[in-house]
Amino acid sequence: MGGLYLLDYGAGNVRSLVNAVNKLGYEIEWVKEPDDILKAEKLIFPGVGAFGSAMQSLVKKNYAKPLKQFIESGKPFMGICVGLQTLFEKSEESPNIPGLGIIPGTVKLFNKYDNNKAVPHMGWNKVNCLKEGKDINYGINQDKVYYFIHSYAVPYNENIKEWILSTTQYGNEIFISSIQRDNVFGTQFHPEKSGYAGLRLLKTFLEGYYNNNNDKEIIIKNPTKLSKDEFTRRIIACLDVRTNDQGDLVVTKGDQYDVRERSTNNDINCGQIRNLGKPVELARRYFDEGADEITFLNITSFRNCPLSDLPMLQILKLTSETVFVPLTIGGGIRDVIDPDGKFHSALEVAGEYFRSGADKVSIGSDAVYAVEKYLANNKKLSGDTSIETIAHAYGSQAVVISVDPRRIYVNSPEDEPNHHLIKTSFPGPNGELWCWYQCTVKGGREGRDIDVRQLVTSCEAMGAGEILLNCMDKDGTNSGYDLELINDVKKAVRIPVIASSGAGKEEHFAEVFNKTNVEAALAAGIFHRKEVPIQNVKNYLREHDILIRSNDPSF
């Protein structure tokens, strides 16, 4: 099919969409100048990031006017996420920046205090098709779930019901999850990140279909409010990536952050980097097994390597060719200097990862340093931290904070008046009943005078969109997650939290979801070694009435 174009205004991960289109057997051209938009026979606009920066970029590049002309021409158009939102008049995210105004209405921030839900809306949720008629729904399957990642949405409004193809409920709020009218189609969710269900939807659009039925043949329903939404919990597979002593890029796993083999009699591998496989192959295996997300933690950050040559960039590019669920990359997200002295800001580093196929970046040590400055400055935002700059350009949903804490036991709160303490059910080595969680940097090798609550609340204020909550005391123990730590963090922030460190059996996943209300749970070694297969975890959760995405094993 000729004439298929991608409108990339320069933000976020669009590589995954291109890979999805290629996977379906189609070639796609990139819009490089305004005239390309009008040359297109079919156009996809995958907006990623913030509404304001998207619209400003469209205007700056002189794309806005030809984009409206293309939509009005009757040629097939598909907008994704912010690409859908820009069709509306304005957004609360950037109230002084107008949208394209194709559809009346305002994009609004989710209510963070509705039903105690986390914002951003990040994960897999169902859609409810409101239009019924011949060939009307672009292959949307109401029995499947699709991947959402956004803080802003358009609430359902019956005054524009002729535009609304489907709605989704998050907490008690019902919002527009897809639109369709004449040649215009758009989704708030990301089909290119929604597994094979999303690829089927893309295939329907690419095959040339768009609705041209007489409106009289279409039945439009009203949405039904559910007593509980159908938002699912996420199971995340984590790959700790580093270079071994032979120079090979491998997935490893530590026991309490030690990734080297320990002595067992005359084991010739003693002291070697623990090798659990190749990153790209393992990521594809996890996708096939039903992982809802995949996280790469680059635990040595490939020091002394130019940014443009980072091995992790190639891993992301190759992985995104065959893995169609969200990818997060962590490690080395900070200001860096190449061996030749060239400076790269954290924003530049993140941009390289996004363009290579990452959907989110995870910030570790740099977040701790940023919080130290934030607290020293009486909690005034500087605007120049890695968290703030990346969130401003790509949206808060693109910024994950990876927390590496360890327990510090004390006899009483008076012993540590400057830190947030909890009373623990697991006494310390000397019978201590109180503890605080000290944040660490440099892969857990150095403790700082910052507690976890200070870190997560400060990072949320700076614009972070998610917390990846590790625990050094639990890492590699297979004894279950640190529920006390997770509950404490969940009470402190309104953004999503991923539980990490300690999973050893299926029951641990059900326990953390039931006892903490966390949005996602992550594991590494037990998945790598197939001690606990991902599908077994999901089957167990389903048997215990925990909503989880069903595996979609093939296209």
The pLDDT tens digits for 191-213 are 999 999 999 999 999 997 555 55
Region of 453 on the Ramachandran plot (φ > 0 left; ψ -120 to 50 alpha; else beta):
alpha
Q: Which of 8, 81, 93, 528 is catalytic?
A: 81
The catalytic position among 8, 93, 173, 192 is 192
At 106, the pLDDT band (50, 70, 90 cuts) reads: very high
Contact status, residue 231 vs residue 123, Cβ threshold 8 Å:
yes
Query: What percentage of the chain carries pLDDT values higher than 70?
Result: 89
255 is catalytic: no
DSSP state of 550: P
More reliable by pLDDT, 11 or 61? 61
Per-residue confidence band for 257, with pLDDT thresholds at 50, 70 and 90: very low
Find the mean pLDDT for residues 157-170: 96
Contact 441, 365 (CB under 8 A): yes
Tell me if 21 sits within 8 A of 54, measured CB to CB.
no
Structure tokens at 116: 């105690």
Which SS3 state, helix, strand or coil, does residue 335 take? coil
Cα angle 262, 263, 264; round to 5: 115
Mean pLDDT of the 345-359 span:
94
> Does pLDDT of 309 surpass 90?
no
Instruction: Please give the pLDDT value at position 253.
Output: 54
* pLDDT at residue 241, as a whole number: 87
Residue ranges and CATH numbers for the domains of the chain are 4-220 (3.40.50.880), 234-404+439-543 (3.20.20.70)
Average pLDDT over residues 279-297: 96
The pLDDT of residue 492 is above 70: yes
Q: What are phi and psi of 307, to 5 degrees?
A: -55, -45
Catalytic position from the list 229, 372, 404, 473: 404
* 301 vs 398, more confident: 398
Range 203-227 average pLDDT = 77
* Annotated active-site residue in 173, 240, 460, 473: 240
Element (H, E) at 439: strand 434-441
Burial call 44-62: b when 16+ CB within 10 Å, e when fewer: bbbbbbbbbbbbebbeeee
Q: What is the pLDDT of residue 137?
A: 72
Is the pLDDT at 215 greater than 90? The verdict is no
- Which listed residue (121, 150, 190, 419) is catalytic? 190
Provide the pLDDT for residue 1: 46
Among candidate residues 313, 307, 321, 385, the one with its CA nearest the CA of residue 347? 385
Q: Look over the chain and give the mean of its residue pLDDT values, rounded to a whole number.
A: 90
Residue 272 pLDDT class (50, 70, 90 cuts): very low
Query: Does an H or E element contain 204, and which?
Result: helix 195-206
pLDDT computed for residue 50 by the predictor: 86
Specify whether 420 is catalytic. no
CB burial string 173-191: b at 16+ within 10 A, e below = bbbbbbbbbbbbbbbbbbb
pLDDT band at 115; cut points 50, 70, 90: confident
Report cis status (omega within 30 of 0) of the bond before 120: yes
State the average pLDDT over residues 453-457.
99
Reported confidence tier of residue 311, pLDDT bands at 50, 70, 90 = confident
125 is in an annotated binding site: no
- Residue 437 CA to residue 484 CA, distance in Å, equals 11
212 is in an annotated binding site: no
Q: Is the pLDDT of residue 368 over 80?
A: yes
Average pLDDT score over residue span 367-388: 98
- Judge whether 81 is annotated as a binding position: yes
- pLDDT in the model for residue 259: 44
Residue 336 host element (H or E): strand 336-337
Mark 63-96 as b/e (b = at least 16 C-beta within 10 Å): bbebbbebbeeebbbbbbbbbbbbbbebbebbee
Query: What number is the average pLDDT over the span 74-94?
Result: 97
Does residue 404 carry a catalytic annotation? yes
**Is the separation of the CB atoms in 299 and 331 below 8 Å?**
yes
pLDDT band at 54 (very low <50, low <70, confident <90, very high): very high
Percent of the chain residues topping a pLDDT of 90 = 77
Residue (of 200, 196, 201, 149) closest to 180 by Cα position:
201
pTM above 0.85, yes or no: yes
User: Quick one: pLDDT at residue 391?
Assistant: 93
Give 47's pLDDT tier (boundaries 50, 70, 90).
confident
Q: Is 81 a catalytic residue?
A: yes
Q: Note the pLDDT of residue 301.
A: 53
How large is the average pLDDT for residues 242-256?
Answer: 61
State both tokens at 54.
């998207």
Q: What is the CA radius of gyration of the chain?
A: 23
- The torsion region of residue 489 among left (phi > 0), alpha (psi -120 to 50) and beta comes to alpha
